[in-house]
Structure 1
C-alpha cells in the first residue's frame, strides 16, 4: 500500500482516540471495582468456590445482551449513523457510573444491583462495539489503517493500564470515588464523540429486508476463511485461557495482595499490550502476519500456565505482562485482517459478529473460569485453560491453513477475490 498521512494529523481521528482512551479508563476502573465488590460481598456469606461462581455469573450477565443483540447492533451500525450509536452507548455507560456512585455513597450496593448494572453495560457494549470499530476505517485512508489500529489499540491498552490501577487505588479512598471519576471520564468521552464530524460511508448492498441484511453479516463471516479463522481463534483461545477472570481470587486468596494488588494484576496485561502496540505504531507489522497470529496465541497460553503456577507477585506480574503482549499481537493482526478484508457496507455487521466472538471469549471465558474454579479450584482452572489455549493454536493452524498462508494485511484488488468457503446453492 502507498504511504498516507499519519492518523494523528486527522482531526476527527484525534477526537476518536481521546474518546476511546477516556472511555476505556472509565470502563475498566468500574470493572475492577465491580469484580472486587461482587467477590467481596459474596465471600461474606460464601466459601471461595461459591464466591468464584459469582464472578462467572457476572460474565454471563454481561454476555447475554451481546448474544441477543448482536444482529440488531451490527445492522444498526451499517444502517444508522455510527456516531449516534456510540454516543448513546457512552451515555448509557455514564448513567451506570452515576447509579453505582449513588449506591456506593449511600452504602446500599448489593449483588442484584451489581448484576443489573452488568447487564446494562452489556447492552451498551453490544451497540458500541460494531459502531466504534466501523468508525475508524471511515476516518483514515486504507493505507494507514493498520497504523490507526495500532494507535487505537494504544488508547485502549493505555486505558487498560491506568483503569484497573486507578480503580483499585481510588476504591481504597472510598467506594464512591472510582465511580465518580468514571462519570467524569465518560463525560469527556461523550464530548469528544460529539465533536466528530459526519463522514461518507457506503450504503448497505444486497437484500433489502432488514432481517436478511442482518443475516448477511453472519453469512459473510462464515464464508470468508480469513475472517472466520482469525475471529474464532481468539474466541476459543481466550475462552479457555481466561486467567484475568480469576484475578480477584488470586489477589485475595492466593497472592494475598488486596484491592490495590488486584489493580496492579489487572494493569500488568495491559502494560505488556501497550508496549507492543507502541512498537507496532512505530514499526507496523508487515510480513508473515498469519504465522505470527498463531504463535502469539500459543505464547498467550504458556504465559497463562506460568501465572497459574506462580506464587510470587513479581513473577505473576511478569507472566501477565507477557500474556498481554502476546494478546496485543493477536488483536493487532486480527483487527487489521477484519477491517481490511471486509467491505465498508459490511463492517458494522461483521464487527458485530466479531464483538460477539470477542465478548464470548471474555465474558464467557470469565464464566467458564468461574465455573471451572468452583469445581477444581482457581489454580487448576487457570493452568488447564492455558494448556487449552496452546492446543487451540495448534489445531487452528490445521483447520484454517489460510491463516499461516496470510503473508500481509493487503487485501485482494477486489473483494470477490477473497478466499471464500464454497457454499451449496
Structure 2
C-alpha cells in the first residue's frame, strides 16, 4: 500500500489553507514530497500568525490552492490519506477542492485513532504530547512540514507494532467507522450508543457538555454529525472526547428532555436553541358596538392571551379554523382589515354580523363558546407515551394548562387517578419553548 501523510495549516475560523505538506510513503521510505505555502485569498488572523508564524506577507506571492490542485491530486492518486486527526485535514482539503469544482475522495487513516488502538496508555494523543512521550522530535511545530514529518515517524512506528496488520485492515474496511468517528472518541463509547429514542451529550476533554441533541435513533443521529461537513460539525467533532446519552422511549419526551438539558447546561454548540423565539398571542376584546373581537399580536403586547402561538401564519390559520368551526366573522377575527363586510376567499360561514344580518348578542355567544373550548383544551391532560422498555410506559402531565413534567411507570402499576401519577413524575419547568413543543405534537 502507498500512503500520503499530510498536514495543513489554515486561517482558523474560515479554514482556508495557508500551508500544505505531503509525504508519499510506501511503508518503508518516503518516495515523494510536496510542500508549499498557499495564498488563502483572505487575511490571516493575528492569533493564527502567533501560533504558526505564517503571516500575510509570507503568503502574498504564494500560489493559490487552485494553482496547486493538480499537484495535490497527482501525488495523492491511488494512495491512502493519512493525518493526525484525519477528518480535519481531509475535510479542509476536500472543501478547497469543492471551491474549484473538483470532487476529492480518498481512503483515509487517522494516526490518533491508530495510536489509541496500538499505543495504549498515553494521557494525551495530541501530536505534540504523544511525540514527546515517544521521543519523536518535531521541528517547526505548527508548521505543515514539521508536523507532517513527525507524523511520518509516528506512522512508521504504528506500522511496526504487533497486530498492526489486522488493525490497519479493520480500519480500512468500508464498514468501519474508525475513519469517521472523531479522532479522540473511543470506539467503545460510540458502540455503546443504542438505536433508541433519547437525548445525547457531546463532551469535551474536561467532561463539559458542548452539545445536546435528541433523536428517534440515537446511534444513527450521532453518526450523522460525523459525516456532516459543516464548520460547526467539524469544530464540534474535533472537541468531542466522550458521548453520554439518556433514553426517552418516545420522540415527544426526547424533545422535552433536550429543551430542559439545553437550558440547564447552555452548551456552546447549541446556539440556535439559545435564541428566544418570537411568540404571539390570541386575545379578545369588545368594541364600542358591543361586538367581541378575536385578534392576535406579539406576546409582549398581549398580556392575557387565550392561546400562545409561534408565528403570524399559525395565528391566521388558527383563527381561520375557529371561524369555520363556530361560524365567526373573518372581519371581527382580524383576518380582513379595512372592509365594511367580510369577503374572505375561504370562509363563507359568517352569519352576517358584519352586515347587520345577525345580532351581536347571538354572535358573541359563539365567540364565548369558542374561547371556552380553547381554554378547556389547555386545562389538564395526560399524554401517554411509549416507555424506555417493553415493561414500562411513559407520560407527560399538563395540569391547569401548565406543563408539570414527564415520568416513567411500570406497566404493572395500577393507577386509578391523575394525582397518583405525580408519584412517578420527573418535575420540569414550563416555558414558551415547551408550549411550542406540546402544541406542535398535539396538533
The two structures have a TM-score, normalised by structure 1, of 0.24
User: Which structure: larger Rg?
Assistant: 2
Larger strand proportion of the pair: 2
Instruction: Flag the structure with more relative contact order, 1 or 2, with Cα contacts below 8 A and sequence separation at least 6.
Output: 1
The two structures have a TM-score, normalised by structure 2, of 0.23
Larger helix proportion of the pair: 1
